[in-house]
Amino acid sequence: MLGQGKYNVYQNGERSETIILEEGQLGRTYYSIEPRFTLNYRIDKVQSVKFGLARNSQNLHLLSNITGGSPTDQWIGNTYNVKPEFANQVSLGYTRNFKEDQFELTLETYYKFMENQIDYKDYADLQNALDLEEQLLFGIGRSYGVEMIIKKKTRKLTGWISYTLSKTERKIDGINEGDWYNARQDRPHDLSIVFTYQINPKWSVSGLFVYNTGNAVTFPVGKYNLNGQTIYQYSARNANRLPDYHRLDLSVNYDFNKRGAYESSLNFGLYNVYGRENAYTIIFRDNPDDPTKTEAVQNSLFRWVPSISYNFKF
């Protein structure tokens, strides 16, 4: 941090002091060490296990507000109040090949502990706040789970199936009574199916199917009227979910004849083949016919997106 300017320091959301830096004066400086260790042991020709330890730091931070399902994101760097985020991860994996390396199975489990996690305090006033950092609280986080991927690597049909079962949580004093709560990134189920089928030397078909649990969000559980304006009361932080997300993408690829070092292909694709209206946001409003009732309105993006692309390399 380099002056000139005034910087407020907060404790639990309350200003404790103001630091004044002269022009060119150096303020807070942060240092971090990021050690990594990986061990891979080959059991035999088709099996291996691996073990890993890693520590990572992050100096640019994403602030997300998802009350009512409407995301409001912005980025912020390190300051007197915002410290580097650290993640310490341990992982253990197993890999095995089948049928003369046609198939490969990988299983991996991990646990990640995170420091200096950032979130908005309850009822943060993001529009009228003179200093955004006054609206922030800091704590710890954790993420753990199991990942699996099966690959088919040879012959006309290739691709993979991957699945992750995981949990990502935060614990910050002043939020959810100091108990663990779901992070926005928490997606217990995450499934991907990818395939490519080579019809002949020129034509191929590819597909992608994805499914994951909806984002963790905070929905209203009650409301009251104040001077003609509806005021909502919300549930515990990130205690609700958007609907699950899934879609299917398909594409057809045609490879032209190779001319020396020049190669080219033409691709036709369709995003979201079956037109799934995945939720981007959900907003809540008074029912126009009966203001005592509340209705949820879902907004979606990109129901169908066709595409044509020409690729070349030389």
Q: What is the pTM of this model?
A: 0.88
How far apart CA 235 and CA 217 sit, in angstroms, is: 10
Q: Clarify whether residues 232 and 93 are in a common domain.
A: yes
CB 43 within 8 A of CB 95: no
How far apart CA 145 and CA 88 sit, in angstroms, is: 15
Which positions ≥6 away from 191 have C-beta within 8 Å?
A: 161, 162, 163, 164, 209, 210, 211, 212
CB 68 within 8 A of CB 235: no
CATH number at residue 146: 2.40.170.20
Q: Clarify whether residues 219 and 242 are in a common domain.
A: yes
Q: Clarify whether residues 88 and 73 are in a common domain.
A: yes
pLDDT of residue 71: 59
Q: Which letter does DSSP use for residue 33 in this model? A: -
- pLDDT truncated to tens, each residue of the chain (314 aa)? 666 788 888 887 788 888 888 887 888 889 999 999 999 999 999 999 999 999 999 999 988 766 555 556 788 889 889 999 999 999 999 999 998 889 999 999 999 999 999 998 887 877 777 788 888 999 999 999 999 999 999 899 999 999 999 999 999 999 999 999 999 889 999 999 999 999 999 999 999 999 999 999 999 989 888 888 888 888 899 999 999 999 999 999 999 988 888 999 999 999 999 999 999 889 899 998 988 889 999 999 889 999 999 999 98
pLDDT of residue 213: 97
How far apart CA 83 and CA 155 sit, in angstroms, is: 51
Q: Clarify whether residues 25 and 46 are in a common domain.
A: no
Q: Clarify whether residues 10 and 87 are in a common domain.
A: no
Q: Clarify whether residues 233 and 124 are in a common domain.
A: yes
Structural domain including 15 reads: 1-30
pLDDT of residue 2: 64
pLDDT of residue 98: 93
Q: Clarify whether residues 15 and 129 are in a common domain.
A: no
